[in-house]
Each structure stands twice: as C-alpha cells, then as structure tokens.
Amino acid sequence: MGKIEDFNNTFALNISKKEGKHDVNEWLDLLKPTIYVLLISGIVTFVLNLLSLIALGLDKNVGCHNKFVFLRYLCFAYCLFGIGLVVISSEKLQHFSSNCNAITNNCFWENFLFEVSLFQIIDGNLCAALDRCFAIFAPAYYCQKYKRFVKFGILTLAILHSILVEIQIYYSMQNSRSWRCCMVAVSSLYDSWSIKAQLILPIMITILLYIVLIVFIKFKINKIKEEDNSAHLHYQLKEKLLITLILCVLSYILTIVLTIIVINIAYSHCKFIDAVHISQYALFGYFSGIVHFVLLFYRTEEFRIAILNIITNWKTLQMRKINTCSILPENRSCTIKKSKATTSVIS
C-alpha cells in the first residue's frame, strides 16, 4: 500500500503545481490511444464470447455433454470481461474530459464488472478442472449420479466467491479522491495480499490438477496402447481436451496475471509519466477473451462445429430475406399487369 499511496500523493502534489499541468496533459495524451484499444478489445471480446455462448446453447449435440457446461460458464465470464472493459474505457475517457476528477467509491463501481469477471474466469477454470477430475477418476459417478444440480451448485459457489471478493475490495478502499481511477483498469484488487492470494492460489491448484490428469491419461494411453483401439481413441480425445483447457489457463496467466504484475511495477514509480509509460505494456492482457475464443475454436471440434453452424444458419437466413425482398416486387408487378389486362378485357 505504501508505494501506491506515495504514487497518489506525488500525483496530487504535481497536479497542484503549475508545472504539473503540462505533465498531466502529456499523461492524458499518452493514455488515450490505449483506452481506445481497450474499448475495441472489449467490444470484440464481448461479441466473440456471446457468439460462443449462443452457439453452445443452441447446439443439441454439445448441450448433452457435461464438459460444455463449464465452457459455457467461461464464455459467459468473458462476456462480462468484455462489457467490463467497455465500461472502464468509457468512464476513463469521461474522466479525461473532466481532468480525471475521480472518486474512489465511483472507481469501485466502474471496475466492478471487470473484477468480477476476473474471478469468475479463475473460478470457472478451477470448476472445469474439478469436473474433469470427476469424469476421469470417477466415471461411474460422473455418468450416473453427477446431476445438473451438482454442476450448478459448483457454479453458484464460484459466483458467490467473486461477489465476496468484491465486498472485500469495497471495504478495503478509502472514500477519498484517488488518481488511480485514471489508470487503465486498476483498483484495490492489486493492493491486498489476501485478495492476491485468492487470485493466485486457484490458478496454481487448477494447473496442478490438469498436470495430474494429463500424467494419468498418458499412463492410461500407454497401458492400453495395444489392447483396445476404441478405448485408446477415447483417452486421446480426453487428453486433447485437457491440453486445450490447460492452454486456456496458461493464456489467462500470460495475459491477465502478467498485466497485474506490469501495473504493480508501474505503481512502484513515483513519477506518474513513467508509470503511464510502463502501464502501456500491460495492454496485451486485455486480449485474454479473444485468445480464449481462438484456442477453443482451433482445438475443440464440437465448439468449432457449433460456431460454424450458427454462422451458416445466419447466412442462410439473410439469403432468404434477400431472396424474399427481390421476389416480392416482381410478383407485385406481375399481379398489377394481370389485373390491368383483366380490366381491359372486361371493358
């Protein structure tokens, strides 16, 4: 907390000086392009993951599989992530127009969706790992007694956890003027070590579970290599899904978590211009939702088919509309000609 308070105090002190005004203008000019990139990234993330959510929901073949429940949850979390980025970007641009006059309480609500989505993604990945553990280590239970209320109970706990973390963040923030609100998607999330632990520990447990599962699957594949081709193929498909899921977790670490580290490094500088320069390198973290979509699309066949089906159906619907619009005027003109001809004959 000390370094961040020093940063805020120095920033406020510089604002009060005449020579600080030039620095603030430079700071705003530096950060504006970053904010616009975040806005575009948020919109693209929301659209892609909403498409994924709809495609997985409408596809009957996908809907009957337990494993896709948690993938749908992750897509939903990334939709929130995209909306959160759009809200943050819009609010930051508004702050710039009013010389970044932000209140900590308002800052919390601006970052609310973004932060909730961060923890929902983490918890969603952990839930998916636990789901795979049930499927591989207890297949009889998973197929017969693993009912829908168990899955949705786990998801409810994940949502409650993210809300509880937000309550912690809210009460750890001070109701005072904070220049940190003017930084890019930063709040008290990165100040408290207890909150950091809730960010890091689930990721570590998730990776550990996936490593154990992959080792177990590899062992099974080698064991039944020459015995049963169908069982061998079944375990190979499980291995591919596990590798895809662990890649999703790693992509999250390489984007969001590294972004948090970069922003913390930026906050260690008392000169806010230096902090802004360093925080610009954190921009790659906000493409996490797009990377997640690309990974699922190229590595999961059912997901890819579901997406292509919904795109194909949409194109077919558009073509039908175009054909209907082009046919109707011709029919109308023919009807008019026929009616005129009939009238002339009668007369």
Tell me the whole-structure pTM to 2 decimals: 0.77
- My answer on whether 160 and 12 are in the same domain is yes
**pLDDT averaged per 10 residues in sequence order, the chain, 347 residues:** 41 40 61 82 93 84 71 89 88 65 63 83 86 79 67 80 80 52 48 74 88 83 67 70 81 78 68 69 80 87 84 81 67 48 42
**289/312 same-domain check:** no
- The H-assigned helical ranges of the chain are 2-16, 18-58, 60-63, 67-97, 104-137, 139-144, 148-172, 193-223, 229-252, 258-267, 272-279, 288-299, 301-346
Contacts of 3 (CB under 8 A, 6+ apart): 267, 268
Angle (deg, nearest 10), helices 18-58 and 272-279:
20
Nearest to 111 by CA among 159, 162, 71: 162
Asked if residue 62 and residue 41 are part of one domain, the reply reads yes
In the numeric block, which tokens belong to residue 283? 């921009």
Closest CA to 182 of 75, 23, 341, 319: 23
Please count the structural domains in the chain. 2
CATH code of residue 142? 1.20.1070.10
Query: Quick one: pLDDT at residue 23?
Result: 56
- What pLDDT, on the 0 to 100 scale, is given for residue 146? 62
Torsions phi, psi for 179 (to 5 deg) = -80, -10
Query: Looking at the structure, do residues 346 and 252 belong to the same domain, yes or no?
Result: no
Residues 293 and 315 in one domain: no
The answer to whether residues 311 and 295 belong to one domain is: no
Statement to judge: residues 210 and 325 lie in one domain: no
Q: Is residue 240 located within the same domain as residue 334?
A: no
By the 8 A CB rule, do 217 and 210 touch? no
Domain that holds residue 325: 306-347
Residues 255 and 345 in one domain: no
At residue 50, the pLDDT reads: 93
* pLDDT on residue 254: 79
Say yes or no: 333 and 188 in one domain: no
What are the structure tokens assigned to 31, written together?
Answer: 């950060």
What tokens does 181 get? 């609100």
If asked whether residues 85 and 212 sit together in one domain, one would say yes
Boundary residue ending a domain (284, 299, 314): 299
Do 72 and 57 contact (CB within 8 A), yes or no? yes
